[in-house]
Amino acid sequence: MEARKAKRGEVVIDENFCTGCGYCVAACKRGCIEITGEKIDGRGFLLPTIVKPEKCNACGNCAIVCAGFAIEVYALPAS
Q: Tens of pLDDT along the chain (79 residues)?
A: 566 677 899 999 999 999 999 999 999 999 999 999 999 999 999 999 999 999 999 999 999 999 999 999 999 987 6
CB 10 within 8 A of CB 62: no
| Topology, domain 8-76 | Alpha-Beta Plaits (3.30.70)
Q: Which pLDDT belongs to residue 4?
A: 67
Q: Among residues 4, 22, 5, which one has the least CA distance to residue 13?
A: 22
| pTM across the whole model | 0.86
Q: Which pLDDT belongs to residue 61?
A: 98
Q: What are the boundaries of each domain within the chain?
A: 8-76
Rounded (5°) CA angle 12-69-63: 55
Q: Which pLDDT belongs to residue 65?
A: 98
Mean residue pLDDT of the chain comes to 92
79/6 Cα distance (integer angstroms): 8
DSSP letter for each residue of 41-67:
-TT-PBPPEE--GGG-----HHHHH-T
Q: Which pLDDT belongs to residue 35?
A: 96
